Structure 1
Amino acid sequence: MTLQEIKAAVDARHRVHWANPGYRVICDRLGQYLIVFIRNGDTIGLTDRSGTRLNGQPDQFFVAPSEQEGQA
């Protein structure tokens, strides 16, 4: 997924993950896109400081299947 695709999916309230379902991409109250490790809350920015390079390979990001959409 591209950076724009990831942001659009998060904004559309889809569950976007990085690498595996344990990492979720969110947008916080300040409008920052973050990757959160769900088990302990560790967080990293979706991009580097320039805001253009993903912290992860584009092919590692995915939208959760629809049956997982309603799960927390």
Structure 2
Amino acid sequence: MTLEDIKAAMHAGNRVHWVNSGYVVTRDRLGQYLITFTRNGSAIGLTSRDGTRLNGEPDEFFIGESAKVWHGIF
């Protein structure tokens, strides 16, 4: 995913992960995008300080499973 893909997915209400489901891309009160480890809250910026390079390879980011539960008839 590109930086633009990640931001668009988040704005659409999707949960974006990095490498595995333990790392979630979040946005803080200041509007900064972060990669946060859910077990301890440790975080790094989604991009380099100048905002030009992802802190991870584009193919390491993915959209997680939807939190919505579908109740269908089988």
Q: TM-score, normalised by structure 1?
A: 0.89
Counting matched residue pairs gives 69
1:15 aligns to 2:15 (yes or no): yes
Distance apart, 1:26 and its partner CA: 0.8
**Separation in 1 of the partners of 2:59 and 2:6?**
11
5+ long unaligned stretches in structure 2? 69-74
Which structure has more helix as a fraction of its residues? 1
Deviations 1:42-68 (A, max 9, x none): 0000000110100000000000123xx
2:4 matched to which residue of 1?
A: 4
Runs of 4+ displaced beyond 3 Å:
none
1:26 matched to which residue of 2?
A: 26
* Structure with larger Rg: 2
CA RMSD of superposed structures (Å)? 1.4
